[in-house]
Structure 1
Amino acid sequence: MSEESVHHIFQTEAEELLVEMEDALLALEDDPTNQELVNSLFRAMHTIKGAAGVFNFNHITEFTHPVETEVDLIRQGQRTVDSNLIATLLKIKDHTWALVESAVDGDGSLSNALYETGEALLQELQGERSVAPAAKANTATSSVERAPESSTSNGHSRANPIEEMFAHDFHDDDEPPESDGRMDSDQWFISLDFQADALRNGLDPASFISYLSNLGDINDIVTLTHRVPSLEKADFESCYLGFRIAFVSQASKADIEAVFEFALDDCTVSILPPHSKVATYLKQIEDLPELESLRLGDILLSIGAVTKAELERALNLQSSDENGATEERKKIGELLVEQKVIEQPVIERALKKQQKSREQSQTIRVDSNKLGQLINLVGELVTSSAAMKIVVERYHMRDADEVVAGMEHLVEEIRDHALQLRMVQIGDTFSRFRRVTRDVSNELGKKIDLVISGGESELDKTVVEKINDPLTHLVRNALDHGIELPSERLAAGKPEAGTITLNAFHDSGHIVIEVIDDGRGLDPEKIQAKAEKVGLIEPGVTLSRAEIFRLVFEPGLSTKEQASNLSGRGVGMDVVRRNIEALRGSVELDSNVGKGTHITINLPLTLAIIDGFMVGAGHERYVIPLSMVEECVEFNNGDWYEEKGQSNFINLRGEVMPFVRLRTFFQVPQRQQRQHRESLVVVRMGRHKAGFVVDQLFGEQQTVIKPLGDIFQHLKGVSGATILGTGDIALILDVQGLLTLAGNQHAHHSQAVVGSEANEHTEG
């Protein structure tokens, strides 16, 4: 792993911590005494500071250290949380991210602007108190490199009290001494054993030890060199060193371990507490309430006797024990004692509180590019499976039918599980708008509540990333255009605080996202007047309510008289629609004057592989997303109502429905022999239904979506293509686009019928 990769991991971890910090700050506005939220703030600053220190990102360390100090005062109850403090900490969160980006992507120097911003924020945070200087990083290099004053017969360094504490590390054949060497020295003992690949993975052992000095005093260090091979056998890119450290500090075990957080994959870390800490742990266990429902690890974690990493390491070691049956494996307490993580008396006292029963679950971080490659390979597997099925059918290989059916089932399972790996909850995206709502509300002098529901709904990570910008624009429009000032709302008989609701739910293989506000709403007459003024429509044209609101997404249309830095310049809504349609989705708007606006976005769950329904029109084949297909009906030619160049509709069991004849729409030549019967495929998307008239029905098919080239981007009615098992190309229909076309034709037809009936009534 290169240094650049390690820095990227730090950047990703820092981003996640800062997002958690922002969520905690916004939650603190409603619950300012919530200690867990305050602890979350402290953990974010502390972890980022520690990691930055390891990588020598001193600008980040010097900024986050005083911030951590101030947050610690909140934890201790010496400072209260109010809206001003939260506003300052939100700005500090933004500045910390700017420092992280500068450190990782820049040349390591700090610009004057960033420095001045940081100083101003620290002064704002600390108020009238003097600025606490950041802790200087003391270097322990001299201690690490010093020559030992004495040596053993094996030539290894010996020091007191480390030589007593870690005697078995120097003599592999010796038993550990009975005395731990701590009777006269109340200090931590830290054991570091770096793996061979540590240097190749971008780690510098000396930097970790150097940063450790920020938490206390290093009394002594012994460097273990017994793993260093001869000069002829040495690999100078490998690390052979280990360290034993005597350390005096008031920090907790978790704080000390956090120094080595980014080295845990390449270094075995053991931290043994002082005797005074052991006595504290024993007392804390005694003071705990009844904990029968907790596991041993939970008890030890709750009192700070072990860290999460130490517990995970012991559990992994326990699970890898293959000496026999489960009852013969060593218990977790025994392993923690053997690893010099905790003393036996603490384990015994904890076991008296409850029985041991623990299960371990783990998650791993996977590069999204690797997931993308996996999805692509699964797509090729789907295509190959379809090709094999065709070959078996073509050559009547009946003996292979069962094998092919089994393979199709397995491919479908692999496809579903692979796609599930890339599914994420949309709630994280929704939560980011809490900050936007808060900042914009304060800027505009409005009171606005953000209500989030359906955050557990999942969709493809790629879709989530691409929908963020359109959602941001819609929420900002609601904040600026929609919600009125408190005085206006009170005068209109509304609550002083407005409400914006973000909701998501699954519907027919799609995800529906709603942005709803209870603001002033949109006036259809003003929209139509503005559209006529800018030349979008001809004056005097009669439009349906849906068609008028659809004009909002046309370029250059805005009914707001004065533009602001948030919205109102007539740009953006057309981009919103274009971006959503690029995801094979649709956006609809409905509004009532004085009551609010309701925007509905329909999106596919994934952009990679879908279940499709293949149909034929002439000599061409088309794929309709199976989740949108409601039914297939066979009709005679006389059952359709068609007016050339105008409207097409059909009466299906009493329901008048528009339809599109695919052969006519795509101008596909007719087959030589005219078919007497055609089929109607009824599709639905949201509240809209329509029919596609086709010549043939081929049935369900797994469909790998291939994007169209730039030259076909403006092709109407098509959203992509797929490669069939025969090697032929089938176009994937843009159902929303075709529904819109059919709906417009149906609306025009209805208006024409109504107008005709009105004329007849007048003449009569």
Structure 2
Amino acid sequence: MNINLDQALQTFIAEARELLQDMEQSLLQLEHAPKDADQLASIFRAAHTIKGSAGLFGLDPIVSFAHVVEDVLDRLRDGQVLADRNLIALMLECNDHLVELIEVVAVQRSTLAAQALDHQAQLRQRLDSYRQTQASVPLVPEAASAHATWHISVRFGTDMLRNGMDPLSFLRYLATLGELLGVVTCYENLPAAAQMDAESCYLGFEIRLLSEKDEASIAEAFEFVRDDCRLFIFAPDTPAQQYRQWLQEMGAEAAGLADALVHCGSVTAEDLLEPADAVSVVAATAAPAADKVVVENKSQRFIRVRADQLETLIDLAGELITASAGAQLMARQRADENLMEATSVVAGLVEQLLDGALAMRMVPIGDTFNRFQRVVRDVSGELGKDIELLISGADTELDKALVERIGDPLMHLLRNAMDHGIESPDVRLAAGKPARGTLRLNAFHDSGSIVLELLDDGAGLNRERILAKARERGLVGATDPSDRDLLNLIFEPGFSTAEAVTNLSGRGVGMDVVKRNITSLRGTIDLYSEPGQGTTVRIRLPLTLAMINGLLVEVAGGGFVVPLDVVHECIELPPGQRDILHQRGHIDLRGEVLPLVFLREQLALEGSVARRENVVVVKAQGQTAGLVVDHLMGEHQTVIKPLGPLFGSLRGISGSSILGNGSVALILDIPALLKTLIEQDNQRRLGSTGHSSITRNAI
């Protein structure tokens, strides 16, 4: 059966990756709690599900290796082997190898590379040593593991063939769990030939299976189609009365089912003819283990959506907002109240549509954070350090596009903290600290942004060494920089204070890339450090890269958007004092000095100055300033359009947006503008006569 097989295989690959990721997290948790039955069950279930699903597709290399892993996990679950650090390390390596086997399927390679095959052979040999280990606790009596006869009733969903699944593949897999004693193909749902759809499935099976497996293992054979099939599993020695009760519940299907039960050998015709009044008594006294399992829960259904399709939906919703704004503008120009009301309703619905599409892209940051548990375990062992990673705010949600791109910067910061920040156990003990170092990852929402924090309790940054290195490279003058500016020097290209190069860091490559990557996400990064106490890295990111709520302003006839989350207030520039304030560079705002950024001059825009100008007070990265603009045009929901590679290095501009009248408004990068203001102020204080605008710097 080849109908949509690729689609079904891609679904298997995606689900297998998720299962292996969960399996890794459970193994890491098991290392700290070796007797945690829930974690053991989760690990075994993941391996078993992957083996079963791979068997449906005939992926024998995955099935074969997963079976060996499952066997060791079964012994671990039964207490025949212990979950010590060595076994956990082996299971983590097996998890990595299963990931590699899945990737072979994903890229459609025929086999593993020679090196990977050698590694697999070594893993099998190490696993076999655990499989041959004799139990340290009394074994379950042989009678309890004897083969028993089960009855399975399954009716597949009509979309099964369209989803690329073959009904016969389930029979083939069940045959690996035991012996098929009887199989009856049921087609009571088959319509007349004229109404038949060749791509729809109308089949089902009544199966008698001889197996030593338990009920959960048999049910997991149908895991891949569980939400789209009707499944009943009857335990061995189920009373005939219970079969009769089930037939009564099945209504019109009862006659065909009764015939199938007899043909399978699960019951006899005489069993089904016993008096009906005994059914309720026997059913009431039947053990729970003999009850049928009904697997038909469709209340929680999820579908997978390709990322590019979701991006297209968001782009179209953004275009709708632009078109809607144009329609509203036309309605106002015509002064047609009915049309204005209609366009207002449409605009509200379009905004809800865009908000809903954006909400579909929001995912918890916890999945990214949890992946670092393995990194901390492996790297700390490589460094000979004892380091623990604590996570908080894992349920904080942000745009999936941000989650995918923030992983690498966080990885580098984490490895850098373990290598340079946290001391070795003996040094920590000598300093009166616990031998185990602590890393903390935290996430929370703040003022329309998301803040990610990485904290360590290490030695902190060495300010003297940073200052010496900065002077050696000519990055600072005779005057010592502020504490914040000094710490941020480590983000300069090639800047490193490491005394030795390691496999992890020390080459002066990486921290500048971290900052550049975060800046490309319209984010900021700051450092805070206390000698002997540790270092905090704080990253601030927008919630989404697709749109922002902004304040639309006009300067020299052009539109500009100021992100609303940095706008503090708006005031009017004192009339008649423009030249004085431009020369002074600041204004007195209720007793506080407010630096001014005259956007007309800063962006080198031409045109006459407005008679009455306004000041937009913005605050970002702990800095406050006032943007001098001509007119305030009101709030504007802005769909961000990238500027393209030609303008990628333009300082002070982060993107563009199309207004309702078809004109383009540039989105201001407030942190970059404030940084430019600080640099120009420093130049003036140092007596520099050079002056450059954002636009000239970019060109």
TM-score bracket, shorter-length normalisation: 0.7 to 0.9
Q: Once the 2 structures are TM-superposed, how far is the Cα of residue 529 of structure 1 from its aligned partner?
A: 2.5
Residue 39 of structure 2: aligned partner: 37
Q: 1:514 to 1:277 in 2, by over 3 A?
A: farther
1:417 aligns with 2:419: no
Once residues 355 and 638 of structure 2 are traced to their aligned partners in structure 1, the CA distance between those partners, rounded to angstroms, is: 13
**Cα deviation, residue 480, structure 1:** 0.6
Task: Give the share of equivalent positions with the same residue, in percent.
Answer: 45
2:403 maps to 464
Q: CA deviation at 1:18?
A: 1.1
Q: CA deviation at 1:111?
A: 3.6
Q: Which residue of 2 aligns with 1:182?
A: none
Q: CA deviation at 1:589?
A: 1.6
Tell me the equivalent position of 1:213. Answer: 175
Distance in structure 2 (CA, Å) of the matches to 1:452 and 1:235:
52
Amino acid at match of 2:316: L
Per-residue Cα deviation, 1:274-320 (whole angstroms, up to 9, x for no partner):
3259999xxxxxxxxxxxxxxxxxxxxxxxxx9xxxxxxx9xxxxxx
1:367 aligns with 2:369: no
Write out aligned runs for 1:83-98 (5 A).
83-98=85-100
Aligned partners of 1:364, 1:256: CA distance in 2, in Å?
25
SS in 2 for 1:407: helix
Contact 2:241 2:283 survives alignment (8 Å):
no
User: Is 1:256 paired with 2:258?
Assistant: no
Cα shift at 1:241 = 4.7
Partners of 2:178 and 2:280 in 1: CA distance: 26
How far apart, CA to CA, are the structure 2 residues paired with 1:467 and 1:475?
12
2:460 paired with 1:521: yes
Counting only pairs closer than 5 Å after superposition, residues 726-745 of structure 1 correspond to structure 2 as: 726-745=661-680
Residues in 1 aligned to 2:373 and 2:626: alpha-carbon distance in whole angstroms: 41
Distance verdict in 2 for CA 1:65–1:741, change over 3 Å: same
Match of 1:139 in 2: none
Alignment of 1:564 with 2:502, yes or no, is yes
Alignment correspondent of 1:102? 104
SS at match of 2:522: coil
Distance 1:105 1:119 in 2: 22
After TM superposition, give the deviation of residue 652 of structure 1 in Å. Answer: 1.5
2:257 alignment partner in structure 1: none
Tell me what 2:639 maps to: 704
Q: Is 1:485 the counterpart of 2:444 in the alignment? A: no
What is the Cα-based RMSD across aligned positions, in Å? 3.1
CA distance in 1, matches of 2:240, 2:120: 40
TM-score by length of 2: 0.83
Q: What is the match of residue 600 of structure 2?
A: 663
C-alpha distance 91-610 of structure 1, shift in aligned 2 (>3 A): same
How far does residue 641 in structure 1 lie from its aligned partner after superposition? 6.6
Asked if the contact 2:317–2:354 (Cα under 8 Å) also holds between the matched residues in 1, the reply is yes
**Residues 92-241 of structure 1 mapped to structure 2, 5 A cutoff:** 92-127=94-129, 129-130=131-132, 187-194=149-156, 198-224=160-186, 241=203
2:650 maps to 715
Q: Distance in 2 between matches of 1:359 and 1:13?
A: 18
CA deviation map 1:476-526 (0-9, x unaligned): 110111111011112222222211111111111111111111212222332
2:604 alignment partner AA: Q
> Which residue, out of 652, 669, 673, partners 2:589?
652
- Cα 1:518–1:651 shift into 2, 3 Å: farther
| Shift, 1:723, TM fit | 0.3
Give 1:231 deviation, angstroms: 9.5
The alpha-carbon deviation at position 375 of structure 1 amounts to 1.2
1:222, 1:369 → 2: CA distance? 44
Partner deviation per Cα, 1:105-144 (whole Å, 9 max, x = no partner): 2333344333321221233234365499xxxxxxxxxxxx
Quick check: 2:148–2:211 contact (8 Å CA) kept in 1? no
Cα 1:747–1:523, aligned 2, differ >3 Å: closer, same or farther? farther
Greater mean deviation of Cα atoms: 460-469 or 267-276: 267-276
Q: CA deviation at 1:640?
A: 8.1
Question: Secondary structure of 1:513's partner?
Answer: strand
SS in structure 1 opposite 2:613? Answer: strand
- Does structure 1 residue 621 correspond to structure 2 residue 548? no
Single out whichever of 262-271 and 74-83 deviates more from structure 2.
262-271
Aligned counterparts of 1:396 and 1:346: Cα–Cα separation in 2: 79
1:27 is matched with 29
- Helix, strand or coil for the counterpart of 1:677? coil
**SS of structure 2 residue aligned to 1:587:** strand
Matched with 2:623 is: 688
Against the structure 1 CA distance between its residues 749 and 611, is the aligned structure 2 distance closer, same or farther, given a 3 Å change threshold? same
Amino acid at match of 2:119: T
Q: 2:537 aligns with which of 599, 611, 615?
A: 599
SS in 2 for 1:404: helix
Match of 2:78 in 1: 76
* 1:8 matches 2:38: no
Deviation sequence 1:168-202 (CA, Å, 0-9, x none): xxxxxxxxxxxxxxxxx962222344456544432
Unaligned runs of 5+ in 1: 133-184, 281-305, 307-313, 315-342, 353-357, 754-764
Tell me how far apart the structure 1 counterparts of residues 461 and 642 of structure 2 sit (CA, whole Å).
36
CA contact (8 A) 2:554 2:560 kept: yes
Give 1:392-411 correspondences, 5 Å limit. 392-411=331-350
CA distance in 2: counterparts of 1:189 and 1:381, whole angstroms: 56
| TM-score, normalised relative to structure 1 | 0.77
3-state SS of 1:221 partner: strand
Q: Is the 8 A contact 1:553 1:573 kept in 2?
A: yes
Distance 1:457 1:735, change over 3 A: same
Assess if the C-alpha contact under 8 Å between 1:634 and 1:679 holds in 2. Answer: yes
In structure 2, what is the equivalent of residue 180 of structure 1?
Answer: none
Letter aligned with residue 435 of structure 1: R
Distance 1:699 1:265 in 2: 49
Contact 2:149/2:236 (<8 A) preserved: yes
The Cα offsets for residues 235-272 of structure 1, whole Å up to 9 and x where unpaired, read as 77665654332111132233112212224466544433
